[in-house]
C-alpha cells in the first residue's frame, strides 16, 4: 500500500490501480475505521463510510454518471456515519430496519459523546462530540448470505459473519480472492465484548474463515492481510477463546 496522504480531514492511500483506502486520521483510534473504494467496470464500490463528521462523498472520485454502490458491513457508528450521503445504500438484512432511524443505542453513537479525545482536530470551531448524531440512511438493497454485489468485471459474494456484531457481513470476490471483511476479522485486537457481540458466533466465524481462500483481505481496521495472516489471526482468536 502506498503512503497515507492526509488532507483537511481524510487520509487516502493507494492500494493498487483500482483500490484506494480512506480513513479519518483525526478521529480517536478506537473508532477510526478503514473505508475502501474499489473501481469496477460498470460500477464502483465503497465499503463502509466512517464516522460521518465531515462529508465523505466529495472525497470519492467516481466519474460522473457511473454508479457508486455503498455497502455498510454492519451498523456500528464508525462504519455508517456518512452512509446517508450516497443514493445506492446496501447493508445487512439482520439490521436493515434500523438504518431507517440510526438509533444511538444500536449504532453506539452515544459512546462517542463522552469519548475522551474523540478528535485530535476540530472539524469546525463550534464542533462538540456531545452533539454527534448519525442521520437515518434507509437501505436501498438488503444483503444476506450468498447475495452478489456485481461491478460488471468482478462480483462479490456476501458472507454473513457474526460475532463482533450480529449483523456483520463481508464481501468476497471468489475469482481473485479479494476480501472486504469489515469487522468480522482484521489485523488488530478484535472487539468481542460489546453489548451485541457474541463470542460463540465469533468462534464459528473464525472456524469458517480458516478455510476461506483469500488472496488479500481489507479489514475495517488495521493493515491489509493475506490468507496466511488471516489464518493466524483466526487461529489466535480460537486459542484464546477455547475454540481449539
Contact 193, 46 (CB under 8 A): no
Percent of the chain clearing pLDDT 70 (strictly above): 99
Going by C-alpha positions, the residue among 155, 152, 151 that lies closest to residue 172 is 155
Give the model's confidence band at 244: pLDDT under 50 very low, under 70 low, under 90 confident, else very high. Answer: low
Residue 1 has what pLDDT? 75
**Model confidence pLDDT, tens digit, residues 51-90:** 999 999 999 999 989 999 999 999 999 999 999 999 999 9
pTM of the model: 0.96
Give the model's confidence band at 242: pLDDT under 50 very low, under 70 low, under 90 confident, else very high. Answer: confident
Q: How many whole angstroms separate alpha carbon 74 and alpha carbon 79? A: 7
Alpha helices in the chain (DSSP H): 77-80, 104-107, 109-113, 199-209, 227-240
Strand ranges (DSSP E) for the chain?
Answer: 5-6, 11-16, 19-23, 35-39, 44-47, 68-71, 89-92, 141-143, 148-150, 155-160, 169-172, 178-182, 216-219
pLDDT greater than 80 at residue 200: yes
Q: How many whole angstroms separate alpha carbon 8 and alpha carbon 2? A: 19
Region 110-117: mean pLDDT is 88
Domains present along the chain, CATH in parentheses: 5-240 (3.60.15.10)
**Other C-beta atoms lying within 10 Å of the C-beta of residue 66:** 12
Three-state DSSP class for residue 104: helix
Q: CB-based contacts of 217: which residues, under 8 Å, 6+ apart? A: 179, 180, 181, 185, 224, 225, 226, 227, 229, 230
Amino acid at each position: 500500500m502506498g503512503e497515507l496522504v492526509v488532507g483537511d480531514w481524510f487520509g487516502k492511500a493507494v492500494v493498487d490501480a483500482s483500490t484506494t483506502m480512506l480513513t479519518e486520521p483525526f478521529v480517536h483510534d478506537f473508532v477510526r475505521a478503514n473505508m475502501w473504494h474499489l473501481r469496477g467496470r460498470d460500477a464502483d464500490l465503497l465499503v463502509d463510510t466512517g464516522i460521518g463528521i465531515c462529508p465523505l462523498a466529495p472525497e470519492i472520485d467516481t466519474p460522473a454518471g457511473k454508479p457508486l454502490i455503498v455497502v455498510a458491513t454492519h451498523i456500528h457508528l464508525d462504519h455508517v456515519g456518512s452512509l446517508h450521503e450516497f443514493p445506492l445504500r446496501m447493508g445487512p438484512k439482520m439490521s436493515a430496519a434500523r438504518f431507517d432511524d440510526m438509533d444511538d443505542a444500536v449504532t453506539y453513537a452515544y459512546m462517542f459523546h463522552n469519548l475522551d479525545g474523540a478528535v485530535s482536530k476540530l472539524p469546525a470551531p463550534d464542533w462538540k462530540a456531545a452533539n454527534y448524531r448519525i442521520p437515518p440512511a434507509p437501505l436501498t438493497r438488503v444483503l444476506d448470505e450468498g447475495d452478489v454485489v456485481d461491478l460488471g468485471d468482478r462480483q462479490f459474494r456476501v458472507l454473513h459473519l457474526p460475532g463482533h456484531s450480529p449483523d456483520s457481513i463481508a464481501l468476497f470476490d471468489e475469482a481473485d480472492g479479494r476480501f472486504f471483511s469489515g469487522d468480522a476479522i482484521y489485523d488488530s485486537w478484535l472487539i468481542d465484548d460489546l453489548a451485541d457481540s457474541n463470542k460463540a458466533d465469533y468462534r464459528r466465524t473464525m472456524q469458517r474463515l480458516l478455510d476461506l481462500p483469500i488472496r488479500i483481505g481489507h479489514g475495517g481496521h488495521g493493515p491489509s492481510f493475506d490468507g496466511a495472516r488471516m489464518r493466524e489471526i483466526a487461529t489466535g482468536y480460537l486459542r484464546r477463546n477455547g475454540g481449539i
